[in-house]
């Protein structure tokens, strides 16, 4: 017996409308350190669908037009933080940016994030970013032993105090959109301060004063000029500028 299904049964769901394709131009800032002395812009026309993201367009270019195009990505779903890039002049995650949400009547400009050393095409050296992150000691520190066979108890209100800054995925979109960081790579940058905030305001942690001392440095929170670029850039919706302000207030109070 064979079963042939070639049309929707009477009363069944209506056939879905075909997804429309369109051609979009991406202008990508390329740089190959083995060949180029300066970055150069290169155009690519690609056929995409309304459901596609910039990451899909980059994959399509790499797989079908130019295998040398170089970029980072891992999860493709806004979790790993590896594909932050400047898209039409604004820091975004390529995997979270739908092409149909951009103005596709014009070319879409894609380039590496600013303020970190350019390595190749859309890849920058993230080591200075992670060096600042490590400097603020982003891990729980306590000299007090937890209750025997139990976790460290925390109230719902105490947990809520730092909930926003737990959402960071270390994509560097905030730090690399900060004009202070562009002009002075010594500044810790918003992401390091966000990750310090996450522990400074954690009631289980006992190293807040150490972190506040670190961030009271001349390269610390006082370099922030409250431009809100970081908050605008954050793909996780973290109130980055507010977190920085709360750390400044904690330094002035001498405690969280």
φ, ψ at 86 (rounded to 5°): -85, 120
Taking the complex as a whole, the smallest distance from the CB of residue 45 to ligand FES amounts, in Å, to 24
Nearer to ligand SF4, 39 or 78 (CB): 78
Taking the complex as a whole, the smallest distance from the CB of residue 169 to ligand FES amounts, in Å, to 6
Query: Per residue in 87-106, is it b (16+ CB within 10 Å) or e — as a string?
Result: bbeebbbbbbbebeeeeeee
Report the C-alpha gap between 28 and 107 in whole angstroms.
Answer: 10
Q: Which stretch binds ligand SF4 (CB under 6 A): 12-20, 156-164, 219-227, 229-237?
A: 229-237
φ, ψ at 54 (rounded to 5°): -60, -35
The H-assigned helical ranges of 125-172 are 127-135, 156-160
* Residue 236 in the binding site for ligand SF4 (CB under 6 A): yes
Choose, by CB under 6 A, the member of 57, 170, 215, 221 that binds ligand SF4. Answer: 170
Subset of residues 63 to 102 that bind ligand FES, contact rule: CB under 6 A: 73-76, 78-83, 93, 95
Nearer to ligand FES, 83 or 164 (CB): 83
What are the Cα distances from residue 155, in Å, to 42, 159, 163, 198? 54, 6, 12, 16
Count of C-beta atoms within a 10 Å radius of residue 242: 14
Window 78-117: contact mask with ligand SF4 (x via CB under 6 A): ---x------------------------------------
Nearer to ligand FES, 93 or 174 (CB): 93
* Residue 168 in the binding site for ligand SF4 (CB under 6 A): yes
* Residue 198 in the binding site for ligand SF4 (CB under 6 A): no
Nearer to ligand FES, 235 or 256 (CB): 235
Judged on CB neighbours under 10 Å (0-12, 13-18, 19+), 37 is exposed
Taking the complex as a whole, the smallest distance from the CB of residue 211 to ligand FES amounts, in Å, to 27
Give the residue among 83, 68, 62 at the shortest CA–CA distance from 31.
Answer: 68
Spell out the residues 6+ positions from residue 141 whose beta carbon is closer than 8 angstroms to its own: 199, 205, 206, 207, 210
Q: Which stretch binds ligand SF4 (CB under 6 A): 42-50, 60-68, 149-157, 165-173?
A: 165-173
Nearer to ligand FES, 171 or 215 (CB): 171
Binding site for ligand SF4 (CB under 6 A): 81, 168-174, 190-191, 194, 233-234, 236, 238, 240
């Amino acid at each position: 017996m064979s079963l042939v299904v070639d049309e929707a049964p009477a009363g069944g769901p209506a056939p879905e409308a075909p997804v429309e394709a369109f051609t979009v131009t991406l202008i990508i800032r390329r740089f190959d350190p083995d060949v180029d002395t300066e970055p150069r812009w290169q155009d690519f026309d690609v056929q995409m669908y309304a459901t596609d993201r910039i990451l899909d367009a980059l994959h399509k270019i790499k797989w079908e037009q130019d295998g040398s195009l170089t970029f980072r990505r891992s999860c493709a779903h806004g979790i790993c933080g590896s594909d932050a890039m400047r898209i039409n002049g604004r820091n975004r995650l390529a995997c979270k940016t739908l092409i149909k949400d951009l103005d596709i009547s014009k070319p879409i400009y894609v380039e590496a994030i600013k303020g970190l050393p350019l390595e190749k095409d859309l890849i920058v050296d993230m080591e200075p970013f992670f060096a600042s992150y490590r400097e603020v000691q982003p891990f729980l520190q306590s000299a007090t032993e937890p209750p025997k066979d139990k976790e460290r108890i925390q109230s719902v209100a105490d947990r809520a105090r730092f909930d926003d800054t737990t959402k960071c995925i270390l994509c560097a979109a905030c730090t690399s959109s900060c004009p202070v960081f562009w002009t002075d790579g010594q500044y810790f940058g918003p992401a390091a301060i966000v990750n310090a905030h996450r522990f400074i305001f954690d009631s289980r942690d006992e190293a807040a004063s150490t972190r506040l001392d670190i961030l009271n440095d001349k390269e610390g929170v006082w370099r922030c000029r409250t431009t809100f670029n970081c908050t605008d850039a954050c793909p996780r919706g973290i109130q980055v500028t507010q977190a920085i302000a709360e750390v400044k207030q904690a330094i002035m109070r001498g405690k969280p």
